[in-house]
Structure 1
């Protein structure tokens, strides 16, 4: 059985407070997008195994979130040995939640394949044990994310028909590095209010708080944002803790796109 874990982008990201547990409370709109990995799980004849292809993934296979998701469910269910293969396409350290998506889809695939009969709420609770934004990919719907990014509220946001361009400049930024430079503050205007405004106002008001510290450190990011606006984006931003930049366009940007060959680019319609 095979599924295709998808990426997400952040429409605005407000870091509002440092938590006693060392994490940060945030407010962000998570939007699923069509850039995907491929995940296959089959019953194994012998011992369980996990293999990888595509983009190189650092660390031992047993440290991968997909394998951790399998072991997490195996604590509570008598799962058989499996052959699991992940073909990695979504860049890492890119602010797209690819690793979190892989973990969440592993939970969903195991639940489906072995008839565990876990409801979505139960799957979300397992996903929260694997990472802060893993739970989002269980229902995989546009939401307002709160607290650590693992508490969700519905949001009436409709971007159907908008063209999305994602640009990853071959620069991985770890979550720890991104958070090291931030100063949380409570915003004057809620993100939910800002996103309810016409999209033409977002350019000056909907902000990703990581940009303030990461743009001076990595000028390529601010240059990319400016370039997206020059190409006609109505709104452009960094996704998550970086380093992918994205633009929302009313019509598809013309090819060939003006980016270096070592950049990874995805384009689609929402």
Structure 2
């Protein structure tokens, strides 16, 4: 069975407090985008995992797809599978690609072996694999709170916009991003912020990590400024970085180019 795990962007990201367990509580809007990996899982005589595309650090045993399989196997009789992941979504970019791969593994195994697990059950498994993994089970716009794994459905449609995502080949680890963050409560709820016109978002919808990471990596604010100069209605860093995206009403300009070593994705939302 073949499927295509997709990335997500954050529309606003506020780190609200440090938790006793060492994690942070946050408020953000997760919105799916169509930048995709490819994941195929087939029944096999022995367990096998291989990967192509962007190299992923660490051995196969640490890959979230295998961890998702092993998690389900603890509660269900799963036969061996041949799992192939073609990695396209960059890592350390704030796009949730690894989390998507894990969640889609759960989804594929559920269908392939007719486990009949509900979306709620799959989300509970996904929460054990990573803070934003559960989002990709339903894969629809939400307001995310707590660790990024508690969701409120959001009726937000950006289908009239083109998204341009620029990844300047800077890998920012979660530990690096959170190491200097100063949690604080936002002055307005995400619901109220997102109800405003997209063109107003640049003044009110913020990503707290920009203040921490932009001074350290000057390429990031340069990308954001270039997206605004090209006519973006809204531009921001996604997640804890380092990808920067711009939302363009209608289509993005064809002559919008970035240095050759940058990865750039463009598509309709």
Pick the TM interval, shorter chain: over 0.9
The aligned counterpart of 1:187 is: 186
Shift in Å at residue 257 of structure 1? 2.7
Tell me the C-alpha RMSD between the 2 structures.
0.8
SS at match of 1:90: coil
C-alpha contact (below 8 Å) 2:16/2:185 kept by paired residues: yes
Kindly provide the CA deviation profile for residues 221-261 of structure 1, in whole angstroms up to 9, marking residues without a partner as x: 01111110000001000000000000001132222432011
The aligned counterpart of 1:29 is: 29
Shift in Å at residue 156 of structure 1? 2.3
Q: What is the rounded CA distance, in whole Å, between the counterparts of 1:258 and 1:111 in structure 2?
A: 41
Q: What is the rounded CA distance, in whole Å, between the counterparts of 1:75 and 1:199 in structure 2?
A: 45
The aligned counterpart of 1:66 is: 65
Whether 1:84 and 2:83 are equivalent positions in the alignment is yes
The aligned counterpart of 2:12 is: 12
The aligned counterpart of 1:145 is: 144
Q: What is the rounded CA distance, in whole Å, between the counterparts of 1:78 and 1:102 in structure 2?
A: 21
C-alpha contact (below 8 Å) 2:32/2:140 kept by paired residues: yes
Q: What is the rounded CA distance, in whole Å, between the counterparts of 1:193 and 1:158 in structure 2?
A: 15
The aligned counterpart of 1:216 is: 215
Shift in Å at residue 52 of structure 1? 0.6
The aligned counterpart of 2:249 is: 250
C-alpha contact (below 8 Å) 1:14/1:191 kept by paired residues: no
Query: If the length of structure 2 is used for normalisation, what is the TM-score?
Result: 0.98
Q: What is the rounded CA distance, in whole Å, between the counterparts of 1:39 and 1:86 in structure 2?
A: 5
C-alpha contact (below 8 Å) 1:61/1:67 kept by paired residues: yes
Query: If the length of structure 1 is used for normalisation, what is the TM-score?
Result: 0.98
Whether 1:55 and 2:30 are equivalent positions in the alignment is no
Kindly provide the CA deviation profile for residues 64-112 of structure 1, in whole angstroms up to 9, marking residues without a partner as x: 0000000000111110011000000000000000000000000000000
The aligned counterpart of 1:154 is: 153
Shift in Å at residue 12 of structure 1? 0.2
Whether 1:95 and 2:94 are equivalent positions in the alignment is yes
Which ranges in structure 1 are unaligned for 5 or more consecutive residues?
none
Q: What is the rounded CA distance, in whole Å, between the counterparts of 1:253 and 1:75 in structure 2?
A: 47
Q: What is the rounded CA distance, in whole Å, between the counterparts of 1:265 and 1:216 in structure 2?
A: 22
SS at match of 1:8: strand
Whether 1:178 and 2:162 are equivalent positions in the alignment is no
Number of aligned residue pairs:
269
Q: What is the rounded CA distance, in whole Å, between the counterparts of 1:127 and 1:52 in structure 2?
A: 21
The aligned counterpart of 1:266 is: 265
Q: What is the rounded CA distance, in whole Å, between the counterparts of 2:56 and 2:225 in structure 1?
A: 31
The aligned counterpart of 2:233 is: 234
Which ranges in structure 2 are unaligned for 5 or more consecutive residues?
none
The aligned counterpart of 1:204 is: 203
Q: What is the rounded CA distance, in whole Å, between the counterparts of 2:189 and 2:253 in structure 1?
A: 35
C-alpha contact (below 8 Å) 2:162/2:250 kept by paired residues: yes
